[in-house]
Structure 1
Amino acid sequence: MTQQELEKYLWGAATSLRGTIDAGDYKQYIFPLLFYKRICDVYDEEFEKALEESDGDLEYAAFAEHHHFIVPETAHWNSVRETTVNVGIAIQNAMRDIEKANPETLYGIFGDASWTNKNRLSDATLTNLIEHFSQHKLNLKNVPDDQLGNAYEYLIKEFADDSGHTAAEFYTNRTVVKLMTMIMDPQPGESVYDPTCGSGGLLLNCALHLRDEGKEYRTLKLYGQEINLITSAIARMNMFMHGIEEFSIVRGDTLARPAFLHNDELKTFNVILANPPYSIKAWDKKSFENDPYGRNLWGTPPQGCADYAFQQHIQKSLDAENGRSISLWPHGILFRESEAEMRSKMIEEDLVECVIGLGPNLFYNSPMEACLLITKTNKTKKKQGKVLIINALKEVKQERNIAFLEQKHIHKIFKAYKDFKNIDDFAKVVSVDELLENKGSLNIAQYLSNVDTSEPNLSLDEALTNWKEKSATLKASINELFNVLN
């Protein structure tokens, strides 16, 4: 199959579920089935190779065969394919048996989809899915890692386009991911971490970035944490589908229970890339006030917005010598009054290297403008005491209700970042002192004259928070005025 034929074939499995389950739930079933089929086909391929090398001697082949993953005979795809009644139970049991047979690598990887609920997925529906996937062998000879990995990424994007509001849980705009990876420039042997890794796109692209440069990507140490069970499973499958096996992706709440520790402290990493969930309210602010890992470096964020809890977690998790981070946020993180003190401390410690304002619609199902916040624990002498601010709001291609960065946009932004100098109406180097004089505001409009100074695109929650803050300030001023008059 060509790449296009493979993608069409895999997407056909998803479209067979239309009208049966919500589009947002496709990923719970299609990804595990795809991975299950891949494992079984590769398992058969590995046995056939051993048989070929042993000149058809079954006994010797059984002794000589080497498998990436063990597939018990009763859990093989062919066994499930022969099942006609209670197909969901057969699929679920087979997946659990494969997880048990590979506890160190595959435990929990198939997620917790409800395969046995016949009201959602009848025997006929599941049989049709099994038969659809059975049309082609998905072994390494027919479908190499690169081809399957690209098709997997294609499915992730299609599910994002098709599933509406759930898309942001597991998908980050791939053109933005490419820019973020180029800026971080991970090197062989370094550790890379994503505290809210979604489907693993940021981590994966770091490895692929090295591979495309002809460098040794297998020595890259990849770590990720993701709170959603099925999304964390998709991230692990994503790695395997691309032929990457050296990684650790853990399910869990990063703020409440960080997964990666060393000597009871947060493990530190050379590179951190993140697209955290923005402005979440359901987090444990009280515990963060007395955080056992010392993540409240600059203070405690307001209950209604945990953005700077994530940003402080990122900073605390950076290597002291060459740690560098890049995180994708809405513009509000640059100027919200409720976070001014924390933002000022971050700037005062000379941790911020660059701020890049991106255009609207780069967040799925949101017209908000995005920005990239780049920090370093040990800035070069040239950049010390300075922050580069880039206005790339117009460097974006709008198409229907989404947007993406074209190659010319990525090149222009990346070059400005590398050059670290003033560019008329596009980039400006601002001193830390000037930023602090402006109460720690990183609002791009304050420093680049060609930026629209009207109120930036905000979410409803951000607009409400700003309104409450300004109302409280106004009330305090009125009370002060009455006190003076009295």
Structure 2
Amino acid sequence: MATGLEQQLWAAADILRGKMDASEYKNYLLGLVFYKYLSDSELREVYEQENGQTTDFPTRSIQYQTLMDWFEDDSEELAEIIQLQKGYFIKPSQLFYTYRQQADRYEFNLTDLQAGFNELERQGDQFKGLFADIDLNSTKLGSNAQQRNVTITEVLRALDEIDLFEHDGDVIGDAYEYLIGQFAAGAGKKAGEFYTPQAVSRIISEIAAIGQEDRAPFHIYDPTMGSGSLMLNIRRYLSNPKQVHYHGQELNTTTYNLARMNLILHGVDQDRMNLNNGDTLDADWPTEEPHQFDAVVMNPPYSAKWSAADKFLSDQRFERFGKLAPKSKADFAFLLHGFYHLKDSGTMGIVLPHGVLFRGAAEGTIRQALLEMGAIDAVIGLPANIFYGTSIPTTVIILKKNRSSRDVLFIDASQDFDKQKTQNVLSPKHIQKIVSAYKERTDTEKYSHVASYDEIKENDFNLNIPRYVDTFEDEAPVDLVKVSDEISKIDQELSEKQSDLLAMMNELAVNEESQLIIESTKRILAGGDHE
């Protein structure tokens, strides 16, 4: 995406940045970008309906006039055709373009925008509740209605300067991803609720697609989907990206709505979107077909608490392992949930803290069972400080079913990153190195190792990466003769400096008091008493 577009998007965010924190103002910005996209997309659809498909659209004022002419001629026909083509219809009076025109004439009113939100939410389940987190009456926008009106007017003007269709490629979705990433950077720990860095998403997605590039339809599942970004990346590596079906669940309602917007903005049709707002661990979902998927991708909250109630011992997701993840650390509960929903021919990638590799007790029992089944295909160690809100190093675990071997590939990529301000970043070359190592599945000194099942068993099923990949660097040997010569040289230089200093002090001795100071200094330099 062009840097200029990013700057325009962030300029719009500047208007709200001083009024509330990132976790709040992202709702306004992303909601309005979404509404603008739907409005502008409708204008383009109307123009194409009247003039035929084109890549050369006139100004929005001409597109708007085309819509108005049709609306005045036959409003019912217009609404019916656009509803059929787009899945929604926004009345001319409620288009984003109309609100912008009203803003320029100082006629805009927040109640009109709220009415537009309400009307769109009534147009089917895909829009229901999408704007619930945009509180246009919040005092953070202004202490009175007039001030709130001014604030949103400024935001409308800033956002309307952005042409979401001006670049080739998925600019609308990319613009959205850029904003989400920027908000995550400023949202601290809250960022973990909704965003996985693109580099990590690409590693998991590219690996998950290996051997399945031509599968269509392709079903992907993320039980802790956040903004949906991790699922969306799979399209980059498949031959039929328009035949990907997205299945996702998210506990946080605000983040769930964010994912719905994100998928719509990335051009995902309603019939390829199966999303649920619920607690992944508390009750299994989905239970209807399909309930197993070609790829499962996850970045769950690390070491979260869960009930670990006895009822889960008879839950199909966990019962075969005989133990439950501890109450204080749900990491393996998330992993086993995802693994249960993986097809026999599929691939799963999950991001977790390193503790899952070596902690004992119930976690050790579960880990051993997975290794005995041959379920753990690879363990990839990532650098520290690449996730927003936490600096801890993480690991990507790749799982498969019905493997012919029980060996495990270990990759230590913890030292491969670029330092950018306070964040470590994986560049394309780092991503490619990891994926290539996964594909080649060979031993590379200080980077990768294929450990046999027997080797892992000898290590008591401990998967701590340093046990298998030795990254220790020997210190350079010390040249004692050289060091001795350097010490002698330093002693000689020090002696010469002391002589120079004493000579200078003798020249300064003008009275009895200064002479006493000089004599005392000489004793100190000679190593005598300091009295």
Classify the TM-score, shorter chain. 0.7 to 0.9
Q: Secondary structure at the match of 1:361?
A: coil
Of the three residues 97, 114, 136, the one matched with 2:119 is 97
Does residue 217 (structure 1) correspond to residue 249 (structure 2)? The answer is no
**1:113-172 deviation digits (Å, cap 9, x = unpaired):** 32222344422211211222233554x4x4566122222111111111122221221111
Distance verdict in 2 for CA 1:128–1:288, change over 3 Å: farther
Q: Secondary structure of 2:395's match? A: strand
What residue is the counterpart of 2:223 in the other structure? 195
Q: Which runs of 5+ in 1 are unaligned?
A: 453-486
- Residue 202 (structure 2) pairs with residue 178 (structure 1): yes
The 3-state SS of whatever aligns with 1:429 is: strand
Q: Any conservation in 2 of the 1:252–1:258 contact (CA below 8 Å)?
A: no
Which of 65, 70, 73 is the equivalent residue of 2:89? Answer: 70
Aligned-pair CA distance for 1:424 = 2.0
- The offset of 1:194, in angstroms, is 0.8
SS at 2:383's partner residue? strand
Q: 2:360: which partner in 1?
A: 337
Does 2:76 align with 1:52? no
Contact 1:326 1:372 in 2 (8 A): yes
How many residues were matched structurally?
Answer: 437
Give distance in 1, aligned partners of 2:52 and 2:387.
51
Q: Is the 8 A contact 2:304 2:328 kept in 1?
A: yes
CA distance in 2, matches of 1:74, 1:258: 44
Structure 1 residues 271 and 133, CA gap change in structure 2 (3 angstroms):
same
Displacement of 1:197: 0.9
> What amino acid is the match of 2:223?
P
Deviation at 1:450, TM superposition (A): 2.3
Percent of residue pairs bearing the same amino acid type: 30
Shift of 1:365: 3.0
Tell me whether 1:322 sits opposite 2:345 in the alignment: yes
- Residues 272, 314 of structure 1: 8 Å contact kept: yes
Q: Which residue of 2 aligns with 1:416?
A: 437
Three-state SS of the structure 1 residue aligned to 2:268 is coil
Q: Pick closer, same or farther for the CA change 1:315–1:392 going to 2, 3 Å.
A: same
Which stretch of structure 1 is more off in the superposition, 266-275 or 294-303? 294-303
User: Deviation at 1:87?
Assistant: 4.3
Counterpart-to-counterpart distance in 2, 1:157 and 1:258: 30
The match for 1:14 is 13
> C-alpha deviations, 1:335-383, integer Å up to 9, x for none?
112311111111111111111111111222322111111110122x3xx
Specify which structure has the higher proportion of helix: 2
**TM-score, normalised via structure 1 length:** 0.83
Contact 1:72 1:97 in 2 (8 A): no
AA at the equivalent of 1:307: D
In structure 2, the residue matched to 1:475 is none
Q: Distance in 2 between matches of 1:359 and 1:31?
A: 30
- Using the TM superposition, give the Cα deviation of residue 173 of structure 1 relative to its aligned residue in structure 2, in angstroms: 1.6
Report whether the alignment pairs 1:286 with 2:309. yes
- Does the 8 A contact of 1:193 with 1:203 survive in 2? yes
Residue pair 1:328, 1:370 contacting (<8 A) in 2 also: yes
Q: Are residue 396 (structure 1) and residue 422 (structure 2) matched?
A: no
Q: Any conservation in 2 of the 1:356–1:371 contact (CA below 8 Å)?
A: yes
CA contact (8 A) 2:8 2:162 kept: no
Cα distance in 2 for partners of 1:316, 1:166 equals 28
Structure 1 residues 91 and 444: CA distance shift in structure 2, 3 A:
same
Q: Distance in 1 between matches of 2:180 and 2:134?
A: 17
Identify the range of structure 1 (401-410 vs 367-376) with the bigger mean alpha-carbon deviation. Answer: 401-410
SS of structure 2 residue aligned to 1:398: strand
**Aligned-partner Cα distance in 2 for 1:336–1:93:** 54
What one-letter code is carried by the residue in structure 1 that aligns with 2:236? L
Kept in 2: contact 1:195–1:224 (CA 8 A): yes
Q: Is the 8 A contact 1:32 1:111 kept in 2?
A: no
**Contact 2:19 2:140 survives alignment (8 Å):** no
Q: Which residue of 1 aligns with 2:42?
A: 43
2:408 to 379, 387, 395: 387
C-alpha distance in structure 2 between counterparts of 1:36 and 1:64, whole Å? 20
Shift of 1:64: 5.4
Cα separation, partners in 2 of 1:296 and 1:14, compared to 1, 3 Å? farther
Aligned pair in 2 of structure 1 residues 318, 206: CA closer, same or farther (>3 Å)? same
Larger radius of gyration: 2
- Which residue is 1:363 aligned to? 387
Deviations 1:302-345 (A, max 9, x none): 111100100110111111x2022011111111011231111111
**Mean CA deviation greater in 158-167 or 61-70:** 61-70
In 2: Cα distance, 1:421 partner to 1:227 partner: 40
Please name the residue that 2:177 is paired with: 153
Distance change (3 Å), C-alpha of 1:20 and 1:341: same
The equivalent of 2:458 in structure 1 is 437
Counterpart Cα distance in 2 of 1:26 and 1:243: 24
Specify the alignment match of 2:500 in structure 1: none
Contact 2:40 2:97 in 1 (8 A): no
Q: Residues 72-111 of structure 1: CA distance to partner in whole angstroms, max 9, x if unpaired?
A: 345433555548799444333321210212x143222334
1:205-255 CA-to-partner distances (Å, cap 9, x unmatched) read 101332xxxx22111111111111221222222222222322222222111
| CA separation of 1:90 and 1:256: change in aligned 2, threshold 3 A | farther
RMSD: 2.6
Please say if residues 300 and 351 of structure 2, whose CA atoms lie closer than 8 Å, have aligned partners that are also in contact.
yes
Corresponding residue for residue 506 of structure 2:
none
Under a length normalisation based on structure 2, what TM-score does the superposition of the two structures give?
A: 0.76
Check conservation: 2:293, 2:346, Cα contact below 8 A. Answer: yes
2:285 pairs with one of 234, 237, 259:
259
Flag structure 2 segments of 5+ consecutive residues without an equivalent. 54-65, 143-147, 474-531
Q: Which residue of 1 aligns with 2:149?
A: 123
Hey, what does 2:57 align to over in structure 1?
none
Q: Do 1:307 and 1:333's aligned partners in 2 also have CA atoms closer than 8 Å? A: yes
Q: Is the 8 A contact 1:75 1:98 kept in 2?
A: no
Question: Shift of the alpha carbon at 1:278?
Answer: 0.7
Deviates more, 1:251-260 or 1:150-159: 251-260
